[in-house]
Amino acid sequence: MEKSRQAMIYIGLNDSKTHEQIYDTERYIGILKNVCKSYHVAFSMNEMNGGYFHEDGTYVEEKSLVITLLGAKEETVREIAKDLCAFFHQESVMVTFTEAEVCFIEERLPEL
C-alpha cells in the first residue's frame, strides 16, 4: 500500500451570469476530458447535483462534475481548476486535497 495525494475538483455547470446550464452535460464532460488529457493526468469523473449561494446571495441548485485526481502535483491541479473555471464560465470551482492509501489489486480467472 502506498500513500498518494488525492485532489477533487468540483465544477458547477450553471453559467455564472444566467444561473442556468447553457449546454448539455455531455458537452461539458467532453471539455473536461480534453483538459485532463492535455495535462496528461489520469482522472475519474462523477456527475452530481448540489446547491450553493452565489456571491450576490442568490441560491442555485445545479448539476456539477467532480474530478478525482491521484498523485497529480498541486500546481497541475490548480491549473486544471483554473482552466475549467474559465471554460465553464464559473465564479469559482472548489478543490479539495486529502491523503489517500492506494493499492492495486490484480486477479485473473483461470483459463479454460
The confidence score (pLDDT) of residue 81 equals: 98
**Model confidence over 1-36: pLDDT tens digits?**
888 899 999 999 999 888 899 999 999 999 999 999
Cα 66 from Cα 12, distance rounded (Å): 9
**Model confidence over 27-85: pLDDT tens digits?**
999 999 999 999 999 999 999 998 888 778 878 889 999 999 998 999 999 999 999 99
The confidence score (pLDDT) of residue 59 equals: 85
- Ordered by where they begin, the domains of the chain are 12-102 (3.30.70)
| Region 99-112 average pLDDT | 92
> 84 near 43, Cβ under 8 Å?
no
**Within 13 Å of residue 5, how many CA atoms lie on the same side as its CB?**
11
> pTM (2 decimals)?
0.87
